[in-house]
Structure 1
Amino acid sequence: MTDQLEPMPEDWQRALAIVAHPDDLEYGCASAVAIWTDQGREVTYVMVTSGEAGIETLEPAEAGPLREQEQRASAAVVGVTNVEFLGHADGVIEYGTALRKDLAAAIRRHRPELVITLNPDDTWGGTYWSTPDHRAVGRAVLDAAGDAGNRWIFRDIPDEPWNGVRWVAIAGSESPTHAVDVTDGLERGVRSLMEHRAYIKALTTENPETYARNLIEGFARESGAQFGGRPAVTFRLFTR
């Protein structure tokens, strides 16, 4: 029998999702965000890059602003109005104190109880090698959640230290512990991914809606096997 996942905590009001690129949150996680914003919770997105190196057929100077525009439209579909871009170079993000400082500053600025990021592991599902950007950002987010609360680290950040992060949730983990029932957010999750039309067009010749629906609904059904058969988005939850 498949081990069943725990529901995500609900006693929080503010979440901050920090990922490397536009579209990272739309491959499943956005359906959960739709559920949370429906409940009146505040979710902010922070993109470490603008995804400017992500479209083979477009120069970065053209791709970056286009992908920022698509990300803002995508976020709006699931009720997110605050989207920030930190301006790190796409494809060559470096893990280190500079990245940790920028992420700690974002956490101090937005003061979340829940921080969300992507799988920092070397692989996806033990089969597909992850990108350096995903690995660097995921690991730095975990570290920055602690950095944000230490007043003796990054003392030139203008905002007061924030030691109120209670959980860091890893989306796309090979070993999830918790899940969100996304029955009522699934359609908006599909439409949220569809807003990345230029990116999808560069990835596949498949119709954007067919592509998005097959992926998002497929992920949710597969994850649901560990959550009572309900469509689900899964997370590995770290408590602080």
Structure 2
Amino acid sequence: MTGTDVTDLAEMPGDWQRALAVVAHPDDLEYGCAAAVAAWTDAGKEVAYVLATRGEAGIDTIAPDDCGPLREREQRDSAAVVGVDTVEFLDHRDGVIEYGLGLRRDIAAAIRRHRPELVITLNHRDTWGGSPGAPWNTPDHVAVGRATLDAAGDAGNRWIFPELADQGLEPWNGVRWVAVAASSTPTHAVDAAPGLDRAIRSLLCHRAYIEVLTDEDPEQYVRSFLTSATGQASARFGGRPAVAFELFGR
């Protein structure tokens, strides 16, 4: 125990080979868990990214038709920094993603395509953090996170979305865990230290977004943000900087 009522974070399972990360926008993974992804790819594991949108509504000063291709390029560049070569986009509209059968079907199809043992997503709850007055989460994050948790089961049931089998996507019931990054109730963690410098470089690839988000020097902003974020869980992880996850078994 750490203190009187806070449980230490367990090590994330390592007995898997393929992971699929499913999030709403470019930069969601870089703000959330790129240091863990770097550690996994270093260990020879395969990680693919699926993004529901291209982040086209994310920069007020750039029109969506120009912003989408720009943010897609930044996302592919940032993924490559941490050893991820496969980045797919589902082309839902940024800012107005709707939780429902269409989103579940698209994510279930991606899971059947990639056949992961571990699925990763971002905080699906209404707020960031569990304390009173915590910042409100965005509808896109909530919809995609919740749909990903549901689609992990959908992917293994041939009678849910049977049209996917007609498209050559046979059921995949091999998902063993869904890991939620940026959860207010984490249970597990990955040592962030080995991948932290690459995580910083990965987030810096989203320069167009960062430059309108802050007046700080981009590198100083990114380093400070990720150092702080990975330090928050360190007391529950043996003093090591950590990327924390809430892990759901299947």
Q: What is the CA-CA distance between 1:225 and the residue it aligns to?
A: 1.3
Aligned to 1:15: 19
Aligned to 1:42: 46
1:204-223 alignment, distance < 5 Å: 204-223=214-233
> Aligned to 1:135, which of 142, 158, 164?
142
Residue 202 (structure 1) aligned with residue 206 (structure 2): no
Opposite residue 59 of structure 1, the aligned amino acid is A
Residue 239 (structure 1) aligned with residue 249 (structure 2): yes
Aligned to 1:83: 87
Aligned to 2:162: 155
Residue 92 (structure 1) aligned with residue 124 (structure 2): no
- Secondary structure at the aligned position of 1:36 is classed as helix
Tell me the distance in 1 between the aligned counterparts of 2:196 and 2:126.
Answer: 28
Opposite residue 80 of structure 1, the aligned amino acid is V
Q: What is the CA-CA distance between 1:183 and the residue it aligns to?
A: 1.1
> Aligned to 1:227, which of 237, 242, 245?
237
Q: TM (normalized to structure 1)?
A: 0.99
Contact 2:32–2:122 at 8 Å: present in 1 too? no
Aligned to 2:125: 121
Count of residues paired in the alignment: 240
Tell me the distance in 1 between the aligned counterparts of 2:109 and 2:10.
Answer: 31
Q: What is the CA-CA distance between 1:28 and the residue it aligns to?
A: 3.4
Contact 2:56–2:67 at 8 Å: present in 1 too? yes
Q: TM (normalized to structure 2)?
A: 0.95
Tell me the distance in 2 between the aligned counterparts of 1:105 and 1:239.
Answer: 20
Tell me the distance in 2 between the aligned counterparts of 1:178 and 1:22.
Answer: 24
Tell me the distance in 2 between the aligned counterparts of 1:225 and 1:205.
Answer: 31
Tell me the distance in 1 between the aligned counterparts of 2:21 and 2:146.
Answer: 14
Q: What is the CA-CA distance between 1:3 and the residue it aligns to?
A: 2.4
Tell me the distance in 2 between the aligned counterparts of 1:35 and 1:201.
Answer: 27
Aligned to 1:28: 32
Residue 101 (structure 1) aligned with residue 105 (structure 2): yes
Contact 2:121–2:181 at 8 Å: present in 1 too? yes
Tell me the distance in 2 between the aligned counterparts of 1:15 and 1:169.
Answer: 10
Q: What is the CA-CA distance between 1:43 and the residue it aligns to?
A: 0.1
Tell me the distance in 2 between the aligned counterparts of 1:202 and 1:150.
Answer: 43
Q: 201-210 or 41-50, which moves further after superposition?
A: 201-210
Q: What is the CA-CA distance between 1:216 and the residue it aligns to?
A: 0.5
CA deviations on 1:137-171 (whole Å, 9 max, x unpaired) are 00000000000000011111121000000000000
Contact 1:28–1:220 at 8 Å: present in 2 too? no
Tell me the distance in 1 between the aligned counterparts of 2:30 and 2:149.
Answer: 20
Aligned to 1:173: 183
Tell me the distance in 1 between the aligned counterparts of 2:178 and 2:105.
Answer: 17
Contact 1:5–1:227 at 8 Å: present in 2 too? yes
Q: What is the CA-CA distance between 1:221 and the residue it aligns to?
A: 1.2
- Secondary structure at the aligned position of 1:15 is classed as strand
Q: RMSD between aligned alpha carbons?
A: 0.6
Identity across matched positions, percent: 68
Tell me the distance in 1 between the aligned counterparts of 2:15 and 2:87.
Answer: 23
